Amino acid sequence: MKPVQTSIEHELKQQFSPVLLTVENESHMHSVPPNSETHFKVTLVSDQFEGKRSVQRHQAVYAVLAEQMAGPVHALALHTYTPAEWRSAQVPESPNCLGGGGK
* Model pLDDT for residues 47-101, shown as the tens digit of each residue: 999 999 999 999 999 999 999 999 999 999 999 999 999 988 888 788 777 665 4
**Is the per-residue pLDDT at 22 higher than 60?**
yes
> Do 82 and 45 contact (CB within 8 A), yes or no?
yes
74 inside domain:
yes
Residue 103 binned pLDDT confidence (cut-offs 50, 70, 90): very low
14 inside domain:
yes
Could you tell me the CATH number of the domain that includes residue 23?
3.30.300.90
96 inside domain:
no
45 inside domain:
yes
The C-alpha atoms of residue 103 and residue 17 are separated, in whole angstroms, by 39
SS3 78: strand
73 inside domain:
yes
